[in-house]
Chains A and B, each alone.
Chain A
Amino acid sequence: MTRTAFEHQLEEIQEDMLTMAGLVELAIERGIEALKTRNADLARQIIADDLTINRMRYETEDKCLELIATQQPLASDLRTIVSVLHITVDLERMGDHAEGIAKIAIMLADEAPLKPYIDIPRMAEIGMRMLMDSLEAFKQRDTALARAVCNRDDEVDALYEQVYQKLLGFMIQDPQTIQRATYLMWVAHNLERIADRVTNICERVVYLVDGHIEEMNVSKY
């Protein structure tokens, strides 16, 4: 085996990306937890931790640039680096969406809940599952899995629609709920965006394996 140092660096950027994905998943999970338990401290922690995710994105970008500049990566090596560059941008934005949920959790911490949360945690659950599966598809270079993950975006879209209608109903019935319901719409919107960004990751898996870019799921939203 030649180019062991390069191989090692190539592994490292992928490991960094997977760690980032883990942190994003944790941020989503905690965001929903903070919302459900009206835990403002936890929400503030998520906001602080997002800084770490942002930094990791730039650190990884830096490592990718160094590899491109110094190692003359070609073919699948080059596609791996380009994919990591794109995916880390998506992950960083997903982290921002989780941070958005945390900010709303703070705003809602002192308010009585509108109703028990069911659809929103469900959206988050599917989104997190999609995220982890998309990274699994990346690790395994599995385009079939990537495509399957993309298709689950429709479930998230359907739930988003459902949440939207329900919240609209609350607002029509009782204008007192408008502010809380609007906040929750933002939460749902953040979750919908997260799932959309997972489909970008899946597109990168196909690019990585097949070498072409393909729009795989055009979200309704």
Chain B
Amino acid sequence: MKEILAAIWSYRHFIVSSIKNDLRSRFARSKLGGLWMILQPLAQVAIYALVLSRIMAAKLPGINNRYAYVIYLMAGMIAWSLFAEVVTRSLTLFVDNGNLMKKMAFPRVCLPIIVGGSSLVNNLLLLVTAIGVFLLIGHPLSLAMLWLPLLIVINLAFAIGLGLILGILNVFVRDVAQVMTVVLQLLFWLTPIVYMPSIIPDRLRSILEFNPMMHMAVAFQDVILYGRPPPIQGLAIIALAAIVLLLFSLILFRRAAPEMVDVL
């Protein structure tokens, strides 16, 4: 553990410059450049709002804003986009960097950190934009939003832990990435992001409880839309899950690392 931290510290400049390069090269030749980072999720929100706002708006009692559904959507999207981006990119992380890992010796642990860092920057930009939109449509900021940094950290840790485990397995069994793209889609619809938990029949709702991302989305919606503290129990569950996944992924990583380059 100490070695890993020492390696991260001595490669800190590399990690920072990699995150910069990563963001820069992703939009290098597009006219709007970095704007795309926030335009894409915003466009998605706009589409859902356009299609579903009539049906869904009525299901949000107690909010005096005709854009309430848009705010609800955005809160869920902020939670989901970080999770989905980190998991998707971690999934193929080692396979994509296979050539580099075969040719250069460097602390492998830098790779997931770079992914996490660049996704985090993305997510924060989205959050800032969302807050701008809220102010524009007359949704006041509440003190409950101070929970956001903690929520984001838990969300990130959970996503990295899960993504890393899947990414390691994917080196050896490439089906993992294929399966996960489908599973992620399913998980998106099992998470109350575009709909409210209240429209789900009670019987099915108990199934939703097993989806950790549901607790995450609910926490974001509570904090951003309703301006109240998130349910501590749900948050504790996902935080615990994040810690267990991270520890497990580190152990797995240590065991798998020597064989990883052999099969890349």
Say whether A and B bind each other.
Answer: no
